[in-house]
Amino acid sequence: MLELKTIALFLLTAIAEIVGCYLPYLWLKQDKSIGLLIPAALSLALFAWLLSLHPTAAGRVYAAYGGVYIFVAIIWLWLVDGIKPTLWDLLGTAVALTGMAIIMFAPKNG
């Protein structure tokens, strides 16, 4: 059960980070409203808070989180940007998620 909670927390954390970075991108690159910076800042604050909820050492969380971030970014590429992931995108994502699982769920000695 802890594994599912950890993965769900990672997914929420990644979405908060991507939204927090995507909204300023829209303002800077696509001439959208500067008002997008307010929800972007809130989303990045949420991202930082969510990182603090993870139940293990911060360095380990940040390392493992990278794998989930890659997964969510590829899903974002597909669903938001409308670009279908390539086989290489999917393979890289699988490797990243495997690394995340090893880091987070392997037995710990300390």
Domain ranges of the chain: 2-105
The answer to whether residue 110 scores a pLDDT higher than 60 is: no
Tell me which of 57 and 4 has the higher pLDDT: 4
Collapsing DSSP to helix, strand or coil, 108 comes out as coil
Rounded-to-10 torsion of CA 82, 88, 94, 100: -90
Average pLDDT of the chain is 90
Which spans in the chain are helix H?
A: 2-29, 37-52, 58-79, 87-105
Tell me which of 42 and 9 has the higher pLDDT: 42
Distance in angstroms (rounded) separating the CA atoms of residues 19 and 48: 13
Residue 13 has which token pair? Answer: 């954390």
Condensed to tens digits (0 to 9), the pLDDT of residues 26-69 reads: 999 999 999 999 999 999 999 999 988 877 667 777 888 889 89
The closest of 61, 68, 66 to 12, measured between CA atoms, is 68
The answer to whether residue 16 scores a pLDDT higher than 80 is: yes
